[in-house]
Amino acid sequence: MPTELKTQSVLRELPLIREFLQTQLSGMDHPNLTIPVIDAVILATIEAASNVMKHAYADVTDRTMLIRIVQQDETLSIEILHHGDRSVPDQPADPDFSGLSEDGFGLFIIHELMDTVTYSRTAPNWQSILLIKKLV
Amino acid sequence: MQFVEDQVADVTILTPQFTWLDASNVPQFKEAIQPHLAQRLRVIIDLTPVEFMDSSGLGAMLSVLKRVDAGNGELKLCGMSRKVRALFELVRMHRIFEIYNDRQEAVKSFEGVMEASE
């Protein structure tokens, strides 16, 4: 049974999303859902949600986003559903690690921390970013 | 968004009075920290209160580093939680910043500070 949060496409909602994830993931019973794993999943999800707000919705702040969590025996799935553009590449280039660039780390972080990242259209006008973490 | 500012000899220690730094509050962070950096050559940011940071927050820390570097100053960080440290290591920024366990270590790392403060 998925657990879901409906939120707005505005950056000030990020702490609410983080709190939702923290509460839900901390309450799940799985031996491999350790604190570092929970921290990693939360960071990846915040990066993805932030990208949706800034890029897919292009900073339009009154749109809807859904964050859906599904825990199964071997995986933890976080799905972000939105009505914005699918403007995010599947395979990000490595960011600039020299310290000269202040951005460009988000996609790298998401792909480093999660096992699978899938972008798709799930229904008319709905885009999905599915983040999967293996729990085995 | 506020910082507590402490002074040890000529070292300025800034302690954020907020528990997260992410895309939701980075603009406020950048604005709030500016006056604390003016004419400061030796700066430590004690991140002990910061429980969560994302890539936008890390980018904001890089902007502070550039600002201090541009004035020929030195910036050091300390008090990182395991979670924040993991982010810095993931994107290799632990090689860019000088990071210490606590403010005593960070202060000590500035040449000549202990003598001056005694």
3-state SS, residue A114: coil
Looking at the structure of chain A, the number of domains it has is 1
Residue B116 resides in a domain: no
Does the predicted model carry a pTM greater than 0.90? yes
Q: What is the pLDDT of residues A85-120, one digit of tens each?
A: 876 665 667 899 999 999 999 999 999 999 999 998
| Secondary structure letter of residue B18 according to DSSP | S
| Residue B44: strand pairing partners | B13, B76
Q: Which of A39, A41, A53, A54 to mutate to test the interface with B (most CBs of B within 10 A)?
A: A39
Domain residue limits at A48: 3-134
| Residue B77, domain member (yes or no) | yes
pLDDT, residue A88, reads 60
What value does the mean pLDDT take over residues A25-48?
95
| Number of folded domains that form chain B | 1
What would the pLDDT profile of B32-51 be if each residue is shown by its tens digit?
Answer: 999 999 988 999 999 999 99
What mean pLDDT is reported for chain A?
Answer: 91
Residues 17-46 of A with CB under 8 A from B: 18, 36, 39-40, 42-43, 46
How far, in Å, CA of A97 to CA of A89, rounded? 20
pLDDT at A92: 67
Task: Indicate the helix (H) or strand (E) that contains A120.
Answer: strand A116-123
Max Cα-Cα span within chain A: 45
CATH classification at residue B100? 3.30.750.24
Considering only A20-24, A27-31, A92-96, B98-102, which range has the smallest mean pLDDT? Answer: A92-96
Domain that holds residue B92: 3-109
Distance from CA of B97 to the nearest CA of A (A): 9
- B89 within some domain: yes
H or E stretch at B44: strand B42-46
CATH number at residue A43: 3.30.565.10
| ipTM of the complex, rounded to two decimals | 0.91
φ/ψ bin of A58: left (φ > 0), alpha (ψ from -120 to 50), beta (otherwise): left
